[in-house]
């Protein structure tokens, strides 16, 4: 997928935090340690540094949700992170994003902390970010 295609999916999928532009996505893709997992209608973008990985964003088109695409992207991103030497994967998710939090818990992530008032909602309200992490076991 091109950065423009990824940005289009991101725009359809995201409310909080706001969607990223193709330029922003290209910047992450061009950075050292970037990893990208895609499906027909979704993607997970992350990065690996030393023995840690971070899921930067995960987006699936609304019309393709509840079909396992997010889980497939997440599993592929985890595999790629392990291949690059990551032992742990971190992510942040809006405290109000119950479907995403359920996905991450179901995938074995645990809560590692809270970033108070990290995001802004559509009405300008402050939303906490839940920091989650998962140990990546060798395949």
Is the model more confident about 64 or about 10? 10
Q: pTM for the full model?
A: 0.90
| Confidence tier at 66 by pLDDT (50, 70, 90) | confident
CA atoms 49, 101, 92, 56: torsion sign: positive
What is the arithmetic mean of pLDDT over 90-111? 96
In the block, tokens 């193709």 appear at: 22
Residue 119 annotated as catalytic: no
Structure tokens at 73: 């992207």
Identified catalytic residue from 54, 78, 92, 119: 92
Identified catalytic residue from 54, 75, 76, 104: 104
What is the arithmetic mean of pLDDT over 70-76? 96
Residue 92 annotated as catalytic: yes
| Domain 3-135 listed as CATH 3.40.630.30 | yes
Report the DSSP pairing between strands 88-94 and 126-135. Answer: antiparallel
């Amino acid at each position: 997928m091109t950065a423009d295609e990824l940005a289009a999916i991101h725009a359809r999928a995201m409310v909080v935090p706001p969607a990223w532009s193709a330029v922003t996505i290209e910047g992450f893709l061009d950075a050292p340690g970037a990893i990208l997992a895609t499906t027909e209608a979704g993607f997970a973008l992350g990065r690996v540094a030393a023995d840690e990985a971070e899921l930067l964003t995960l987006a699936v088109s609304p019309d393709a949700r509840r079909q396992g695409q997010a889980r497939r992207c997440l599993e592929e991103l985890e595999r790629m992170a392990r291949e690059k030497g990551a032992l742990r994967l971190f992510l942040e998710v809006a405290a109000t994003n119950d479907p995403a939090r359920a996905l991450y818990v179901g995938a074995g992530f645990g809560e590692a902390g809270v970033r108070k008032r990290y995001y802004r909602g559509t009405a300008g309200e402050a939303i906490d970010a839940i920091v989650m992490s998962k140990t990546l076991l060798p395949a």
